Chain A
Amino acid sequence: EDQVTQSPEALRLQEGESSSLNCSYTVSGLRGLFWYRQDPGKGPEFLFTLYSAGEEKEKERLKATLTKKESFLHITAPKPEDSATYLCAVQARNYGQNFVFGPGTRLSVLP
């Protein structure tokens, strides 16, 4: 069964304390993996798309990587404004061009 999981469910970091969020997927024929950021009371905001294993994308303090079974969102020296829920979504052959979202990781960065 196709599935997208994210870990941890919640993560608390001190400002400057680097860490990684995980998105694991079991899907038939990955077309793309997407990362979004969601602030409380708002809609998700697109961050990255990754298409093939080994690919990496960076934006400010965030770097996303992709393997054949999982993706990591690395956060380097986070700041309080990085606090948000981070969602990953996969696009797989079985779902046509639709997305399957994971449940998200809630990140809190304390000053």
Chain B
Amino acid sequence: NAGVTQTPKFQVLKTGQSMTLQCAQDMNHNSMYWYRQDPGMGLRLIYYSASEGTTDKGEVPNGYNVSRLNKREFSLRLESAAPSQTSVYFCASSEERGTSGRFGPGTRLTVL
């Protein structure tokens, strides 16, 4: 039981490059989330998926897209990376939307 896994752990991009952050959970949770964490600020919700087949915008969705590939996997895509997207990205999942869940280990992204 690995919980929530994220790949990659670290990534450096140049401005304008694209990439996809991968997230998978093995707890049969319905809801999945993507957050970003910046120094001095709380975790901010980018996108969430309340259940398989649905996705919704969170607080800071601009510049990102998501795909809920199946119940286990939820990916986050940066189409054209910007330095403002330098951050640590966390994926999380929970049994139902609004319940406390499990976080992944994070992806540290730097955009030059």
| A residues lining the B interface (CB < 8 Å) | 4, 31-32, 34, 41-46, 49, 87, 89, 91, 96-104
Contacts and interface: CB of A to CB of B under 8 A. Distances in A.
Interface in B54-110: 58-59, 90, 92, 97-98, 100-106
Given A43-B90, A43-B92, A91 B42 contact: no
Contacts of B35: 101
B63 to A, nearest CB: 19
B103 A101 contact: no
Contacts of A41: 105-106
Contacts of A44: 43, 90, 103
- Which of A32, A89, A91, A98 has the most chain B CB within a 10 Å cutoff? A98
- Interface of A, secondary structure class, is strand
Given A46-B102, A99-B43, 5 more contacts: A31-B98, A43-B90, A43-B103, A44-B103, A103-B40
B52 to A, nearest CB: 17
A41 B108 CA distance: 9
B42 A87 contact: yes
Nearest to A45: B103
Give the 9 A-B CB pairs with smallest separation, nearest first: A97-B98, A43-B103, A101-B42, A101-B43, A46-B100, A97-B97, A44-B103, A103-B42, A102-B42
